[in-house]
Amino acid sequence: METMPLTLECKAQLDDYAQRHGLDAATALDEALGIYLEWEKQDYLEAVEGIREGYADYMAGRTQPLNEVFEELLEEHAIPR
């Protein structure tokens, strides 16, 4: 097993996580890291899909002039001009 140093803040957060979940620190780290990495992967895939969809809209001409977008945002959020 390879060891990796943790900052004191990370170690304290890990210890807190482990205690709340009734786990030892190594199991808690493995679990928390697995959860985070799965979330990060999903977030990445969703971002890529959003970019693909935006590019497809652009290529198909489904765009709106920027000044119109700004006007809509100002109106929607009641931002004074």
For the chain, the structural domain boundaries read 8-76
Q: What is the pLDDT of residues 60-71, one digit of tens each?
A: 999 999 999 999
Yes or no: say if 18 and 24 are a contact pair by the CB < 8 Å rule. Answer: yes
% of the chain surpassing 90 pLDDT: 93
Give residue-wise pLDDT tens across range 1-23. Answer: 789 999 999 999 999 999 999 99
3-state secondary structure the chain: CCCCCCCHHHHHHHHHHHHHHCCCHHHHHHHHHHHHHHHHHHHHHHHHHHHHHHHHHHHCCCCCCHHHHHHHHHHHCCCCC
**pLDDT average, residue stretch 40-52:** 98
Say yes or no to pLDDT of 81 above 90: no
Question: What global pTM score does this model have?
Answer: 0.72
Question: Which tokens belong to 10?
Answer: 């990370």
